[in-house]
Amino acid sequence: EVQLVESGGGLVEPGGSLRLSCAASGFTVSDYWMHWVRLTPGRGLVWVSRLSSNEDIANYAESVQGRFTSSTGHAKDTLYLQMSGLRADDTAVYYCARGIAGTSVAFDLWGQGTMVTVSS
Amino acid sequence: QSALTQPRSVSGSPGQSVTISCTGTSSNIGAYNYVSWYQHHSGKAPKLMIYDVTERPSGVPDRFSGSKSGNTASLTISGLQAGDEADYYCCSYAGTYTFRVFGGGTKLTVL
């Protein structure tokens, strides 16, 4: 079955770090552009980052630039999001999403999300 | 505040049609034909319903359709069913700096 499963969320204090994982099955993450998107009650969905299929391009939303880093694992079946300098406004459900193949820019596969809570 | 503006909620009775609007600017929706729509049932993975303004992925019923005029995109759901009750989010490509912008989401209630 083709799916994405996130893990690694939890409660972390402001200024702390956390690494999220996104395990892919049924396909190889390094064959696609992969994204992180977060959901907060007040703002809805917000795009966080994207990583190119060969990892030579990584882009981030201004709000996380310099604090978050996206990468893939050695086996190329897992996407990671390393988060540091966490702030209260980073509290959200984090989803990984696959960029649709071809020339479009939509996300055709999402995980079920992992909750990150930043609080003291 | 989200970059794209959607109504907070819409509702309709089974069998009826509803349209959800998504208003952006000339820097996102107005500039590109890359609007997509996602259905989200709480606690589940969001699902792609429409991409490239009007295209439906395989498996999405033709009751779902998309359109765009100027800086506003729309999702129309005809023949409403109970299972359509969910949150719907629009998304647009926004260039090589902002990349993607989303709407704040619209809660669809099937009465």
* pLDDT of B27: 94
A102 at the B interface (CB within 8 A)?
no
- Give per-10-residue mean pLDDT for chain B (111 aa): 93 97 96 96 96 96 98 98 98 88 96 93
Which of A 48-77 lie inside 8 A of B, CB atoms? 50, 59, 61
Note the pLDDT tens digit of each residue in A5-60: 999 999 999 999 999 999 999 998 888 999 999 999 888 999 999 999 888 899 99
For position B111, what pLDDT does the model report?
A: 93
- Find out whether A82 and A67 touch, Cβ atoms under 8 Å: no
3-class SS of residue B96: helix
Burial letters for B70-106: b for 16+ Cβ neighbours within 10 Å, e otherwise?
ebbbbbebeebeeebbbbbbbbbbbeeebbbbbbbbb
The three-class DSSP label of residue B11 is: strand
Tens digits of residue pLDDT in A51-67:
998 888 999 999 999 99
Nearest to A100 among B1, B51, B89 (CB): B51
C-beta atoms of A45 and B44 within 8 A: no
Residues of B in contact with A4 (CB under 8 A): 45
Chain B residues close to A35, C-beta within 8 Å: 100
pLDDT of the residue at A42: 81
pLDDT digits (tens, 9 = 90+) for A67-118: 999 999 777 789 999 999 999 999 999 999 999 987 778 999 999 999 999 9
